[in-house]
């Protein structure tokens, strides 16, 4: 099954800093199209059209219902899913993904929705576990155990795996508590653009395992899916953010990893069968399965209405991303019992095939012996006939004598084989 990445654009309202600087809207939203406008509100320059463009009055719940809810529902059925926010610094990505108590973001809405769906599927048993990591200066940090500063990434048969702390959960409240603990450990800092700027990419992963519920029986297969909820740090310019020292170094790493992401998006959108640079950064390596792989993916591109060049860059990224096609499939994993049963059947089948092959080899060996006997007999008969022909002229004037040809004695322990019977099916013509 092929599935395009879903991409939407969300425009945030002007913030207090922009109002104080007397900045004006440079973009207008109409019929899911963004139009560049001048200071007088007239259309000029660029325009971009998407399936969904949300203006400054849109609630996060509307965005969730349109683009995130279908992926959460698919995750409970065994499909991998990824939702992430992309955009420049201070464009509203963290607010969209995390939200506030008054206005929950995509992550808490997804958690609550997930457990509601599970509650309404009584014929399956579910196991939900979570992990939470951040990529800070290209170092992978475990947000649920900050003592683990540089955790590893492994390639497995199911895809890329992060060696992070895993917490098994039983309720949405428990999941949200772990999320808050992780957020408290995340790297943030103040810049001229944002008082609490994310200085890292965060990946909140929910693993969902389920199997059919049958009383008194052990089910052989599990559905196993991963739901990645990603809050990316925003691209930034040091001239605008005023970043120096540590903040400047953080910004450099952020921009570099986002450039790697943009390169991967461009390579995939071109649709050419060539190498894709997933390993250029930890971010693209972790998201490898979500970009052109086995996952359903949605991207929320957050933009600032008062910005021009940065917004154009984000919208061009969005245009390329919506051309990427993924191949999501239900992830079915056999349990140990089912695997043993399957391997036992396979072993029995191979043994039967081997015995049949031995029988065929024995029959072939006997047939070869019979053929050898016949060849010797025919060879002797042919030599006798040739001698008679050569002496034919000498016998012209002689009285014909009765010649007796003795039949060669066949080996008794090797009886003559019965002539094989061939069965030709009757042909019917119309």
Residue 2 pLDDT level (bands cut at 50, 70, 90): low
| Residue 93 is assigned to a ligand binding site | yes
| Residue 89 is assigned to a ligand binding site | yes
* Model confidence pTM above 0.85: no
pLDDT given for residue 385 in this prediction = 53
Q: What is the residue-wise DSSP string for 10-43?
A: EEPPPPHHHHHTT----EEEETTEEEEE-TTS-E
Strands 201-212 and 124-136: antiparallel
Q: Would you report the helix, strand and coil content of the chain in percent, each value rounded to 5? A: 40, 25, 35
Q: Is 125 exposed, middle or buried (0-12, 13-18, 19+ CB in 10 A)?
A: middle
Tally the residues of the chain. Answer: 430
Q: How far apart are CA 54 and CA 341, in angstroms?
A: 52
Average pLDDT of span 128-140:
94
CATH class name, domain 3-334: alpha beta
| Residue 271 is assigned to a ligand binding site | no
Helix orientation angle between 69-76 and 106-119, rounded to the nearest 10 degrees = 40
pLDDT given for residue 394 in this prediction = 47
pLDDT at residue 34 greater than cutoff 80: yes
Question: What token pair was written down for 277?
Answer: 């640079």
Nearest Cα neighbor of 369 from 306, 326, 323, 411 is: 411
pLDDT given for residue 422 in this prediction = 40
In terms of pLDDT, which residue wins out, 427 or 83? Answer: 83
| Residue 91 is assigned to a ligand binding site | yes
- Report the SS3 class of residue 69: helix
Residue 418 pLDDT level (bands cut at 50, 70, 90): low
pLDDT at residue 194 greater than cutoff 80: no
| Residue 292 is assigned to a ligand binding site | no
Residue 210 contacts residue 127 (beta carbons within 8 Å): yes
| Residue 2 is assigned to a ligand binding site | no
The CA–CA distances, whole Å, from 249 to 192, 205, 222, 246 equal 16, 27, 44, 5
pLDDT at residue 52 greater than cutoff 80: yes
In terms of pLDDT, which residue wins out, 68 or 415? Answer: 68
pLDDT at residue 400 greater than cutoff 80: no
- Which strand (E) or helix (H) includes residue 226? strand 221-231
Average pLDDT of span 207-223:
81
Query: Average model confidence (pLDDT) for the chain?
Result: 82
Residue 412 pLDDT level (bands cut at 50, 70, 90): very low
Average pLDDT of span 70-98:
94
The residues spanned by each domain of the chain are: 3-334, 336-372
pLDDT given for residue 266 in this prediction = 93
């Amino acid at each position: 099954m092929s599935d395009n990445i879903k991409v939407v654009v969300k425009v945030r309202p002007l913030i207090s800093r922009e109002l104080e600087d007397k900045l004006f809207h440079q973009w207008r939203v109409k019929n899911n199209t963004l139009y560049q406008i001048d200071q007088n509100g007239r259309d000029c320059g660029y325009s971009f059209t998407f399936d969904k463009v949300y203006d400054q009055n849109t609630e996060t719940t509307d965005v969730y219902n349109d683009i995130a809810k279908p992926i959460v529902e698919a995750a409970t059925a065994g499909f991998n899913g990824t939702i992430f926010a992309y955009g420049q610094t201070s464009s509203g990505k963290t607010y969209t993904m995390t939200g506030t108590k008054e206005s929950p973001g995509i992550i808490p809405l997804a958690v609550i929705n997930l457990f509601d769906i599970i509650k309404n599927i009584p014929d399956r048993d579910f196991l939900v576990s979570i992990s939470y990591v951040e990529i800070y200066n290209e170092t992978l940090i475990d947000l649920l155990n900050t003592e683990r500063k540089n955790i590893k990434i492994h390639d497995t048969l199911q895809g890329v795996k992060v060696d992070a702390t895993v917490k098994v959960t039983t309720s949405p409240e428990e999941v949200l508590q772990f999320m808050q603990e992780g957020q408290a450990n995340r790297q943030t800092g103040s810049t001229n653009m944002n008082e609490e700027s994310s200085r890292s990419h965060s990946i909140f992963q929910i693993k969902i395992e389920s199997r059919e519920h049958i009383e008194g029986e052990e089910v052989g297969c599990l559905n196993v899916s991963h739901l990645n909820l990603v809050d990316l740090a925003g691209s930034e310019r040091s001239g605008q953010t005023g970043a120096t020292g540590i903040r400047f170094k953080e910004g450099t790493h952020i921009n570099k990893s986002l450039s790697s992401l943009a390169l991967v998006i461009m390579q995939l959108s071109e649709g050419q069968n060539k190498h894709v640079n997933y390993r250029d950064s930890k971010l693209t390596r972790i998201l490898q399965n979500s970009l052109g792989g086995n996952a359903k993916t949605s991207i929320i591109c957050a933009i600032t209405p008062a910005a021009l060049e940065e917004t154009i860059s984000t919208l061009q990224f969005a245009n390329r991303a919506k051309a990427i096609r993924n191949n999501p499939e239900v992830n079915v994993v056999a349990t140990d019992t089912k695997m043993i049963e399957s391997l036992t059947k396979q072993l029995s089948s191979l043994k039967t095939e081997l015995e049949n092959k031995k029988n065929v080899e024995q029959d072939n060996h006997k047939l070869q012996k019979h053929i050898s006997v016949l060849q010797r007999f025919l060879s002797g008969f042919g030599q006798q006939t040739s001698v008679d022909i050569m002496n034919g002229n000498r016998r012209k004037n002689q009285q014909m004598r009765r010649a007796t040809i003795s039949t060669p004695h066949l080996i008794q322990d090797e009886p003559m084989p019965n002539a094989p019977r061939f069965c030709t099916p009757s042909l019917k013509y119309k």
